[in-house]
Amino acid sequence: MPSVKLPAADGTFVEHRLREPAEWPRPRAAINSRIAFAATPVIGHAWRENVPGAPAQLDWDATLAFRRHIWSYGLGVAEAMDTAQRGMGLDWHTASELITCSAAEARATGGLVAAGAGTDTGDDITDLAGVVRAYESQVAHVENAGAQVILMASRQLAALASSPDDYAAVYGKVLSQLSRPCIVHWLGPAFDPALAGYWGAHEIEDATVAFVSLVTEHRQAIDGVKVSLLDLDHERQLRKALPAEVRIYTGDDFNYPELIRGDGQTGSDALLGIFSAIAAPASAALQALDDGDLAAYDSALSPTVPLSRHLFGEPTFYYKVGIAFLAWLSGHQDGFTMVSGLQSARSAIHLTEAFRLADRAGLFPDPDLAARRLSSFLVTAGLSDD
């Protein structure tokens, strides 16, 4: 197996020999124990001007191939979410095209797809009525494309709302118009600081009361809620407080194995950014859960947790860089290129540690390719021992 000299933060180098590729079986039947979505990244075109402030230029072939990779492991695709740099380089014009293309690919392959509808239309929104109109236009686009709606948290609503009643009014109008039940997304400020105080309260207990009230009132329009607060105990308590028919799609990239595994009575479904990086072991774990083999479930997922906690470390909203880096090392994209040049947002030392943890978890299908690409990256970064 190949080896690479990895730079450490103290200025030394440690030789790392890659492990043999892990064998992760693709499912032979649909996964039934949980519904699981991977929030998928977009792949920037290496030959285009993907620089800060420039419109997103995607490598469409690689971007859609990555979604087929996710579907091949029995997972659903959560499209045009924050993992796809929504609000960090992916504008609505490109996101809307992405949703259309991804939904068409899903129909062709039989894959499950849901897509984000928000208020980032590019229009100047100055009041709550404008927030409603923006939501309505994006919801219509997602539904017309044939995808399930993920009702994303709105920066514009967070800036304009003055109370929980404002959130209730906006969401109530939007939810009443859906043609099929949606997923409501609660994204915490660790992922987007502009969403601090969402649901009209800065204290999580008060926000939870408002959130549960809203979901309970509109339960017929809500399939489930995606909760991205990175708080294990809060999600467990929220699961008990919500109506029984409303799913929790965990967005907790720190504690997902426990939350999905559940307590023997209930467990969370999943809508996770980390699942785009660990699709193969996540699929293996869910297949094991279908079979009631909890030891195999733990064996597949437990080694991925140190990687996920590293990728989603502060500042959490830059986790997308590590996801793209691992996609490049795994051969899913030709270059380590992100829209808006976001690949510069994590240090080379951070990404080197991501490589090490990913290899430990058995994520690289081609260790030789991963080693060559990491070596070239380290030379460019000035971190080579040669």
Supply the pLDDT for residue 266: 86
Supply the pLDDT for residue 40: 98
Token look-up 């990728």 returns 311
Tokens of 191: 């992922």
Tell me whether residue 4 is in a domain: no
CATH number at residue 331: 3.20.20.70
Looking at residue 69, its amino acid is H
Tell me whether residue 185 is in a domain: yes
Statement: the pTM of the whole predicted model exceeds 0.85: yes
- Report the DSSP beta bridge partners of residue 183: 150, 224
Split into its structural domains, the chain has a count of: 1
Contact yes or no for 37/75 (Cβ under 8 A): yes
Task: For residue 120, give the nearest of 172, 173, 148, 159 by alpha carbon.
Answer: 159
Supply the pLDDT for residue 263: 87
Supply the pLDDT for residue 386: 73
**Would the pLDDT of 34 be above 80?**
yes
Task: For strands 182-187 and 269-272, give the pairing.
Answer: unpaired
Measured CA to CA, the distance from residue 85 to residue 90 in angstroms comes to 5
**Would the pLDDT of 193 be above 90?**
yes
**Would the pLDDT of 378 be above 80?**
yes
**Would the pLDDT of 9 be above 90?**
no
- Whole domain around residue 301: which residue ranges? 31-343
Contact yes or no for 304/312 (Cβ under 8 A): no
Instruction: Give the pLDDT confidence of 43-95 residue by residue, as tens digits.
Output: 999 999 999 999 999 999 999 999 999 999 999 999 999 999 999 999 999 99
The burial class, CB within 10 Å (0-12 / 13-18 / 19+), for 67 is buried
Instruction: Calculate Rg over the CA atoms of the chain.
Output: 20
Looking at residue 311, its amino acid is L
Mean pLDDT of 253-269: 94
pLDDT, averaged across the chain: 97
Supply the pLDDT for residue 200: 97
139 falls in which pLDDT band (50, 70, 90)?
very high
Tokens of 294: 């909890």
Supply the pLDDT for residue 360: 97
Supply the pLDDT for residue 265: 82
Supply the pLDDT for residue 385: 82
Mean pLDDT of 352-365: 98
